[in-house]
Amino acid sequence: MIRSILLVALLLPALAPAQDLAKATFAAGCFWCTEEAFDKVDGVVATVSGYMDGHLKEPTYPLVSTGGTGHTEAVEVTYDPRKVSYEKLLEAFWVNHDPTFLDRQFCDQGSQYRPGIFTHNAEQQRLAEASKLRWEKDKPFREKILTPIKPASEFWRAEEYHQNYYKKNPARYRFYVTGCGRYARLDELWGKFRGK
């Protein structure tokens, strides 16, 4: 009995940090690119590509890619709030997508590429809406910001070959983002804010 109590006491410090982690979910077009953007943020522990905001249970990439399931490609971000704030994640989100389109991101067209902030609680909702208002005022482009903010629905993990695609297939990934004009458009839209 004493041995068991000691073992639990020793394990608790190792388990405690995981309990302090939080989740955020964003859609910014191709989930390969969204995953890469958030992996670069200090304090992000993990990113998972998947599907959200649709009407079909257990969606697959072939089904989602038709645009008929209602899902959008999204990334679930697990982060350590002691190292990075939700506000910082919102900053990374805004400058890594084109908020001037509803059903398109760069060369990818269709509702499955629509952007969005999917909030997990009232505080995230409040902070997301405040950040959108701020960018409406400070944005360096004329077009209106159309990116919606809504409560997160069920998140479905994408197939394994989509996870960390930019790491597993660096040459193909670079060809895709360059050919798609992603970074050129982001630099055109956000300018100096991209360097932060």
> Mind telling me the catalytic residues?
30
Query: What CA–CA distance (Å, rounded) separates 192 from 95?
Result: 10
Counting other chains too, the contacts that 169-177 makes at CB distance below 8 Å and 24 or more residues apart are 173/32, 173/36, 176/30, 176/32, 177/33
H/E stretch holding 94 reads helix 86-94
CA dihedral 12, 17, 23, 24 (to 10 degrees): 170
Q: How far apart are CA 80 and CA 58, in angstroms?
A: 28
Alpha-carbon span 28 to 50, nearest angstrom:
12
Alpha-carbon separation of residue 169 from 74, 82, 165, 176 (angstroms):
19, 32, 6, 11
